[in-house]
């Protein structure tokens, strides 16, 4: 199975900061990489699919990049509503869609 390693596991940040979260796959997954945001007690919400395609309604301060094994989620100018946990997910092939361990953004 493809393993996803996400870092950091947590990040203490302030409103207005630029945030970068990385995700590494154990083998090449082309651009089959998705990013989700989850707030406490809520279901995850997809932000980015195919490594870099912003989902409808997601603010443009979110962006994704990467291909092969290394991927990045960037949030420019963090807003109060962005404090949440972020997960990467590989969707290479059919099924066995592993997630990264998550990155929790906390208020500094």
Question: Where along the sequence are the contacts to another protein (CB under 8 A)?
Answer: 1, 31-32, 34, 36, 38, 43-46, 49-50, 53, 55, 85, 87, 89, 91, 94-102
Closest CB 15 distance from another protein, rounded Å: 25
Which residue lies nearer to another protein by CB, 44 or 66?
44
CA–CA separation, 98 and 90 (whole Å): 6
Task: Give min distance, CB of 108 to another protein, in A.
Answer: 22
CA-to-CA distance for 96 and 56, rounded, in angstroms?
26
Q: Report the nearest approach of another protein to the CB of residue 79 (Å).
A: 22
Which residue number, 80 or 95, has a Cβ lying nearer to another protein?
Answer: 95
Question: What's 99's DSSP letter?
Answer: B
* Strands, E assignment, 1-108: 4-7, 10-13, 19-25, 33-38, 45-49, 53-54, 62-67, 70-75, 85-90, 103-107
């Amino acid at each position: 199975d493809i393993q996803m390693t996400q870092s950091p596991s947590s990040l203490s940040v302030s409103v207005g900061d630029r945030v970068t979260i990385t995700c590494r796959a154990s083998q090449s997954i082309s651009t089959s990489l998705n990013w989700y945001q989850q707030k406490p007690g809520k279901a995850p919400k997809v932000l980015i699919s195919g490594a870099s395609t912003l989902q409808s309604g997601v603010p443009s301060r979110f962006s994704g990049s990467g291909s092969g094994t290394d991927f990045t989620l960037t949030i420019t100018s963090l807003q109060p509503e962005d404090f949440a946990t972020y997960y990467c997910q590989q969707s290479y092939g059919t099924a066995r869609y592993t997630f990264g361990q998550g990155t929790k953004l906390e208020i500094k």
